[in-house]
Structure 1
Amino acid sequence: MSGDNSYEPVYSDRELGMDRRISRRDFLDGMAVAAGALVAGGALSGCAAGKYGGIHNEVVNPPDGWKYAGTGDPAYPPAMQGLRGSTNPAMQIPHKLRDGVFWSGDQKINASGEHYDLVVVGAGISGLSSAYFFHQQNPNAKILVLDNHDDFGGHARRNEFHPDGKLLIGYGGSQSIEDPTVWSPNAKKLLADLGIEVKKFDKYYDQDFNKRWKLNDSVFMTRDMFPNDYLAVMKDDTLTAESLKSSGMSPAAQAAYLQLQDKPGDYMPGLSDAEKKLKLVDLTYRNYLRDYAKMPEEVLNFMQTFTSDEWGFGIDAFGAIDSWASEYPGFEGLKLDNSKPYKYCGPTIQIQWDADDPYIYHFPDGNNGICKLIIGQLIPGTGAPRTMDEEPLAKIDYSKLDVAGNAVRLRLNSPCVRVQHEGGNIGSKTVNVDFYRNGKVYRCTAGNVVMACYNTMVPYLMQDLPQQQKEGLFYGTKLPIIYAMVQLRNWRAWEQLKIYHTRFTSGDWCVAELDYPVSMGGYEFSKDPDQPILVHMIRMATAPGYENPRGGIGPGRRELFARPFERYERTLRDQLARLLGAGGFDPAKDIQGITVNRWGHGYALEYGRPWATFWPDGPLPSVIGRQPYGRVTIANSDSQNRAYADAAIDAAWRAVQELEGKPSAEQQAVPVP
């Protein structure tokens, strides 16, 4: 997808309804980036992220202030709308630390008087799982979980809407329990301990919904690549000659694509199975399609966003070897052996090699359901659910998350600013944890710390880490993404067009889809096209044009944070109007609410060929970066270089085991000077 401001709406602001109020609409801007301002030099000795990540070269300077966090009641964040996710207040202190200016003033350290057996930095799935595992092994432990956001869950975020008093539940990030049959024993046990029985989703997820309403997958071919906007509706999840014949794609390109999809040839004749695979290891998907399958430019453009929503970047950076393993178009004719995982495929593809689970294991609020159930186990009196069936309608009382006297406390709006062993001595039994709250820096002490935050932030919080470890942590910079939830008055236009999902070939947003049809625990999904519904839209903000996706992360992230909510809203309305207009959709009256979940640090970047030449033999930056340091260990999905809930849970388990003095074999094998 585009990583810049090049998208130009087709419809006027009036036609899009930009002059109409939607529920709690607000036009306050997101963070703007001051062009040309360089990172403060020398403020962070040994923390020159630009040297290793190549992305931090501008100082954030929001002219409209740091207070905007969306609209609605901050006492109950899930129902807030507007620009959410990583909000301006949540990013202020981390960016000051990154830019080397936070400690430049006279920052007094105020003793909080608190001591904990464990402090966890980060309240996402990995952080909450760390607290859970530690508490399970140490039932009398006192635990504090800190987070810079106003809501828990990290990217596993709940979005609520209330059209005419009806509750609609959506998700702002981490979607589903994907392929649970191949989860690790520890991750499976956590689900079981929380009472999550995935087989119940066989009933809760309406697997006949699309069939009953005759809804199909589709591709929206955009007017900047083709003569006109055109909706190509699939049949049985496959494009056909009939669906493409009026698209404006040239007959030769149509024939080439259909050949690639339906009956690809052997584009590497004369090579053995092993030789073909090694060739694919060194190619991007786009290069394979261009240089071996000989696809015309129209087909390459048509497929550019094919991988965007799943992997975070387009076919110009995604590897051909993983495209083959994912059964994307163009490889069947190679007749490659897929009886066992191929060593050069990415980690998730290898883990899920033989998995055949349906994509149905989804709480209405996505994996925020896992987080709420963990809180239900750890913190009494919050209103958190105790069973999976209670989860959808359970309403958290956020004022009860951080209560003195509770064994486990969750403290939001409290970014960690420094973690250091007492006296700077790695052998100390005490770790000082400084955090920022209500304009002041406070210090608590801990016997142990798990850093479950973005791993690229860890070197700013722990400046005494070994240099090699800092470099490993910086390398894991996350992919920028935006998940928007759009509340519609009805879904009649989708029913008229017979679609439930579309991929845009270009534009600001790469996907628009009806929410997943899950009804459980007293919550009911929309039963009729005239009822309100949520639409999920995805924008992968990694800038295109880089065969190494890391090159597109910085430009994409800067553009993401520079945008006001108004611009997200305008392009979102425009693409929905173009997609659904022929079905009678009117964005001015049919869109009733918008929540834009902005994640500058979104998907953990999964290692893959051809760009990650160190994969799989190593040394792996994630393994170097996550080594224990004294009484501090490192979790988060970053440390597993996989953007999945099970990876976040596995990281938590490993980090807690390391605190308990049980080092892994890999830890012993990776020296860190």
Structure 2
Amino acid sequence: MISRRDFLNGAPIAIGAALSPALLNACAETGTVDPFALPSGYYPPAKTGLRGSHDGSWEPMHGVVSGETIEHGAPGETYDLVVIGAGMSGLAAAWYFREAKPDARILILDNHDDFGGHAKRNEFDVNGTFRMGYGGTEAIDTPSGYDPDAMRLLRGVGIEVDRFFEYFDQEFWDREGLSKSILFDAETFGETKLVPGYGSRPWAEFAADMPVSDSAKAEFVRLQTSTEDYLPGLTFDEKYALLRKTSYEDFLRDYARAPEEVINIYKRWGMSFWCVGMDEVPTTLIQNYDGGLPGVAHTLPRTGSRNDDPYIFHFPDGNASIARLMVRSLIPDAMPGSTMEDVVLAKADYTALDRPDQPVRLRLNSTAVKLNNLRDGVAVTYSRAGNTHTVRAGHTIMAGYNMALPYLCDELPEAQVAALGSVPKIPLVYTKVAVPDWQRFKDIGTDFVYYPDGFYKQVEFAYPVSIGGYSAVTTPDEPMVLHMCHVPWVPDTQGPAQWREGRMRILSTPFETFERHVKAQLSQALAGHDFDPERDISAITVNRWPHGYAYSSELIWEPDYASEADKPWVIGRQAIGRIHVANSDAGAKADTGVAMAQAHRAVMEILAA
């Protein structure tokens, strides 16, 4: 048998799913023969350690990919719709389908031990104080850009986005005197030094503290303050065409004439957003990006962007609360309460997710492993606790990782298989660190530290949101949840191949490595402020997402397509008989609104059929 280590180093493996001892003992605890019952006290959000794609969630699908033979059994249950994936798109698909067909029987399958997909909730008890954070999807980004059907869903589950203007404390940073910082490392810059005040201090004053040469300091200030058009004589359209194929790193070097010491500051600036180095981000993406990147504004003037809405539409647990509200709408017994406010502190009843007498059932720890069209339905086989089960569906919506579809269903045409194989998901890690207070950050005057060459690209505060009885921090002696983001950087590899390599790196990295970097990088940032990581870190949760963001179609290597129909993600989302395709993958954008829109499209396909 091939070991897990062998698989993670590149060799495939085929092993069954694993459930926790608590799950395997569920029937004994509940006194029932229901094979899908969850034990009382089952509550994944409170787990710390290695989460996200936790062990037990990924092995069955990797077995299928490696060639494990799966056969359908006799269907044990029949549903009008089976949804594969209980993330944003899967839950939305169930919601839209039930909106159209209130009496429909729906089964939602998910390979993880919690619902929400990447919208996971992390909870902490820090010396008796309750804190939460987002383990993945963090916000309703630019709700003004959501299509009407996505907005109807948000309103349908009780969300009124305008209320966040009251709940999100937009004055927090100014009131507390907090600003962004850069942690210059000795390996790249010759000295390890934290320099606070990026964007808030005069640029000459900030540059004076940077551990770079005097000439680089002068060039840094020039870059930040210049109003020069670096492409004089060209029209806006000519500039745009040129800069669409010019990386921001090349723009700095070739047009803004920045020295390498300055370029080194920005090489990984957008890693948590675009998940590539700035040598693969087109300069046109910087045009409307309010992220502290200099040099473009007077060459390619701003025309409007995703940032035109304030970035405030955020629950304390990110979009996990949206998932919880959708679950409440679909399975009321699983989520007490009735408002967007009370869902924040509501205690989900996981034992109510999958009861035989309810029209919508959500079955966790269940990985779809085979799909096939029947004459008048779909056979869906999934793996749970090392056993396979088959159900019959009138229709199926694939709302998980779209690239997995060819391994589940052998009915796809070759062009669709090739298209799906060309748009891999993007790996990333969201690590949450609970600390008993944030006084040291207050003393420095920072809430965000960027590491130009760190394992974690950044550490930043939780967003200041108070809603439904949950209060954001108000004084520096209160517990804080810190957010740290790691994206594997493979600078010698271009294009999607780097994400495949990064996925293997993430899966082969043990919790202890993530923990070690947390302690080392916080110690760097808080040096000289009596920080002891063994004493001053209360808990760490690592949300590992080897299949994280949807494929990004905005980066420099993406070709120009002759039509919408030629785009690989559009080819990849075509229905196969009664098997339909949703998920943000189908829109090539890691965005909750896109996930919902693709769910609505898939449901409309079914209703039209």
Instruction: Name the TM tier (shorter chain).
Output: over 0.9
Q: Secondary structure at the match of 1:90?
A: coil
Alignment partner, residue 196 of structure 1: 159
Counterpart of 1:575 in structure 2: which amino acid? Q
Say whether 1:457 aligns with 2:404.
yes
| CA pair 573-337 structure 1, distance change in 2 beyond 3 A | closer
Q: Distance in 2 between matches of 1:159 and 1:367?
A: 12
Q: How does 1:487-506 map to 2 (within 5 A)?
A: 487-506=434-453
Taking the aligned partners of 1:326 and 1:143, their CA distance within structure 2 comes to 41
Check conservation: 2:216, 2:259, Cα contact below 8 A.
Answer: yes
2:356 equivalent in structure 1: 404
Cα distance in 2 between the residues matched to 1:337 and 1:204 = 33
Which residue does 1:183 correspond to in 2?
146
- Cα distance in 2, alignment partners of residues 111 and 418 from structure 1: 13
Letter in 1 for 2:170: Q
Instruction: Provide TM-score, normalisation by structure 1.
Output: 0.84
Shift in CA distance, 208/193, structure 1 to aligned 2, threshold 3 Å: same
Shift of 1:300: 1.5
Q: Distance in 2 between matches of 1:365 and 1:290?
A: 40
The letter for the 1-side match of 2:474 is K
Is 1:252 matched up with 2:215? yes
Which runs of structure 2 are paired with 1:71-150 in the superposition (5 Å)? Answer: 75-100=42-67, 102-103=68-69, 109-150=72-113
Q: Which residue of 2 aligns with 1:622?
A: 569
Who is 1:18 aligned against? none
Contact kept in structure 2, 1:31 and 1:563, CA below 8 Å: no
Matched, 1:379 2:331: yes
* Residue equivalent to 1:26: none
2:485 is the alignment partner of 1:538: yes
Partner of residue 380 from structure 2, selected from 418, 433, 436 = 433
Partner of 2:506: 560
Pairing 1:59–2:12 present:
yes
Shift of 1:510: 0.3
Equivalent residues of 1:67, 1:88 under 8 A apart: no
In structure 1, C-alpha distance between the alignment counterparts of 2:481 and 2:49, rounded to whole Å: 15
Q: Please identify, of 385-394 and 478-487, the stretch whose mean Cα deviation from structure 2 is larger.
A: 385-394
SS state at 2:182 partner = strand
Structure 1 equivalent of residue 517 of structure 2:
571
**Mapped pair 1:607 → 2:553:** yes
SS of the residue 1:201 aligns to? helix
3-state SS of paired residue (1:581)? coil
Encode CA deviations 1:163-204: one digit per residue, 9 max, x unaligned: 233211111000001111121111111111111111111111
Partners in 1 of 2:206 and 2:528 — Cα distance?
16
Query: Cα distance 1:152–1:239, how it changes in 2: closer, same or farther (>3 A)?
Result: farther
Tell me if the contact between 1:635 and 1:648 (Cα under 8 Å) persists in the aligned partners.
yes
* Contact 1:317 1:546 (8 Å CA) reproduced: no
Does residue 527 of structure 2 align to residue 581 of structure 1? yes
Q: Taking structure 1 as reference, are residues 298 and 192 closer, same or farther at Cα in structure 2, changes over 3 Å only?
A: same
Question: Is structure 2 residue 173 aligned with structure 1 residue 218?
Answer: no
- Residue of structure 2 equivalent to 1:389: 341
Measured against aligned partners, the alpha-carbon deviations of 1:443-476 in whole angstroms (never above 9, x if no partner) come to: 1000011000001111111121111111111222
Using the TM superposition, name which of 478-487 and 271-280 deviates more.
271-280
The alignment status of 1:233 with 2:212, answered yes or no, reads: no
2:444 is the counterpart of 1:481: no
Q: What is the CA distance between 1:392 and its match in structure 2?
A: 1.1
Shift of 1:67: 6.6
Provide, for residues 560-611 of structure 1, a one-character-per-residue CA deviation record: whole Å limited to 9, x for no partner. 1111100110011100110112333221100010000000011112212530
1 CA distance for matches of 2:263 and 2:314? Answer: 33
- In structure 1, give the amino acid aligned to 2:343: E
- Check whether the contact 2:280–2:555 (CA below 8 A) recurs between aligned residues: no
Secondary structure at 1:117's aligned position in 2?
A: strand
Which of 240, 244, 247 matches 1:284? 247
1:370 to 2:337 alignment: no
Contact 1:492–1:583 (8 Å) recurs in 2:
no
The verdict on how the C-alpha distance between 1:141 and 1:542 changes in structure 2, with shifts beyond 3 A counting, is farther
1:542/1:187 CA distance change after superposition, 3 Å: farther
> What is the deviation of 1:383?
2.8
Asked if the contact 1:32–1:561 (Cα under 8 Å) also holds between the matched residues in 2, the reply is no
Q: Which runs of 5+ in 2 are unaligned?
A: 23-39
- AA aligned opposite 1:494: F
Q: Percentage identity across aligned positions?
A: 37
Give 1:32's aligned residue.
Answer: 5
1:332 matched residue in structure 2: 297
- More displaced, 356-365 or 539-548? 539-548
SS of the aligned residue for 1:464 comes to coil
| 1:295-338 residue CA offsets vs partner (Å, 9 max, x unmatched) | 2111111101211112122202111121223264111232x465
What amino acid maps onto 1:32 in structure 2? R
**Pairs within 5 Å for 1:342-357:** 352=306, 356-357=308-309
Residue 466 of structure 2: aligned partner = 519
1:615-666 per-residue CA deviation (whole Å, 9 max, x = no partner) reads 584511000000111111100001100001101111101110111117xxxx
Name the CA distance, whole Å, in 2 between partners of 1:109 and 1:628.
Answer: 21
1:59 partner amino acid? P
CA contact (8 A) 1:253 1:296 kept: yes
Residues 383/504 of structure 1: CA separation in 2 closer, same or farther (3 Å cut): same
1:36 Cα shift?
6.6
* Cα deviation, residue 32, structure 1: 3.5
1:99, distance to aligned residue in structure 2 (A)? 1.5
Q: Is the 8 A contact 1:68 1:87 kept in 2?
A: no
Name the SS for the 1:219 alignment partner: strand
Kept in 2, the 8 Å contact 1:233–1:239? The answer is no
Cα deviation for residue 386 of structure 1 reads: 2.6
Distance 1:31 1:573, change over 3 A: farther
Q: Confirm or deny that 1:639 pairs with 2:602.
A: no
Q: Contact (CA 8 Å) 1:515, 1:534: kept in 2 or not? A: yes
> 1:266: Cα distance to partner?
2.4
Deviations 1:255-314 (A, max 9, x none): 222222221522223333222221112111111111222221111111012111121222
Q: Which runs of 5+ in 1 are unaligned?
A: 1-29, 38-57, 341-348, 423-427, 663-673
In the aligned structure 2, how far is the partner of 1:245 from the partner of 1:467? 59
Deviation track 1:398-434 (CA, whole Å, cap 9, x = no partner) reads 1110000110000000100011012xxxxx2211000
Residues of 1 paired with 2:382 and 2:14: CA distance? 22
> Alpha-carbon deviation of 1:547?
4.1
Matched to 2:459, the amino acid is A
CA-CA distance at 1:151 after TM superposition: 0.6
| Distance in 2 between residues matched to 1:398 and 1:527, nearest whole Å | 32
- Residue type of the partner of 1:397? D
Aligned to 2:284: 321
**1:69–1:253 Cα change, 3 Å:** farther
Q: Which moved more, 1:129-138 or 1:242-251?
A: 242-251
Contact conserved, 2:126 with 2:435, CA < 8 A, in 1?
no
